[in-house]
Amino acid sequence: MYIATNKPYAVFVLGAGGTGSWLCSFLDKMSLHNNVIVMDGDIVEPKNVLRQNFKMQDVNANKAEVVGKNNMMSYVHGFITDTSIFHQILEEFPKDTIPMLIGCLDNNASRKIAHDFVNEVDNAVWIDGGNAERHGQAYVCIKENGQIVEGFESPIAIEPAFQNFEGDERRPDQISCAEHSESAPQNVTANVTSANVLFNIMTIFLNGGALMTNKFIFDTRTITVTPMMAQSNA
């Protein structure tokens, strides 16, 4: 079990698509505007309007910019290519601010960048979400005073499927527009559920609650969210 304490956080929402666009609308209700940075280099396409939190008037605009402006949050309209952007942004916050990465990603190459950043800093929280058409999961990684908190290791250390960085596991900026259009099928219910699970985990840290497990899996077909303690494979 991990007991969170009230600390100042800089919240980086990595991805403003199926999950991130909904998550930011939830965060808007918590008045975290000055502490949230939305990051995505993708643009809104007509098909996105069907399951992501966008309207037809947003088509061809950058996703992070639309989400950021709609929810009065800062935004970076570019893909994450290395860890430097996190360090640069953190310089604008007080020194005791803890970076909280909220992964709304769909590729392991970007997860690897988040993993590398956690390794570079003394304190961090990384909540990583993902989903398929009807189900998904969320992992929680916590680092304090230079050490990973026992039981809350990096998602890459826990999930073998995240350890594949070869083949098509490229960053979004390395993939053509044509390839982007061939994304895996998803469902608005799964996207909203994934955002809701991430939001619930975040509120534990932001409100000083107790976190009992490091992994949550959900299934929209059975309307269930199951907590579990996943073990590191590292």
Q: Rounded to the nearest 5 degrees, what angle is found at the Cα of 90, between the Cα atoms of 89 and 92?
A: 75
**Distance in angstroms (rounded) separating the CA atoms of residues 33 and 170:** 31
Q: Which pTM value belongs to this model?
A: 0.90
Question: Which residue positions in the chain have pLDDT lower than 70?
Answer: 165-185, 233-234
Of 115, 36, 121, which is closest to residue 76 (Cα–Cα)?
A: 36
pLDDT at 5: 76
Of 28, 30, 37, 23, which is closest to residue 93 (Cα–Cα)?
A: 37
Domains of the chain: 7-228 (3.40.50.720)
Of 13, 128, 126, which is closest to residue 68 (Cα–Cα)?
A: 13
With tokens 């061939």, the residue in question is 182
pLDDT at 45: 96
Of 27, 23, 24, 21, which is closest to residue 43 (Cα–Cα)?
A: 21
**Phi–psi pair at 68, nearest 5 degrees:** -60, -45
State the amino acid at position 82 in one-letter form.
D
Residue 146 C-beta-side C-alpha neighbours within 13 Å: 0
pLDDT at 206: 87
**Distance in angstroms (rounded) separating the CA atoms of residues 144 and 222:** 36
pLDDT digits (tens, 9 = 90+) for 63-88: 999 999 999 999 999 999 999 999 99
**Beta 98-104 vs 9-14: how paired, if at all?**
parallel
pLDDT at 180: 42
**Beta 124-131 vs 98-104: how paired, if at all?**
parallel
**Distance in angstroms (rounded) separating the CA atoms of residues 27 and 222:** 26
DSSP H or E stretch at residue 196:
helix 188-207
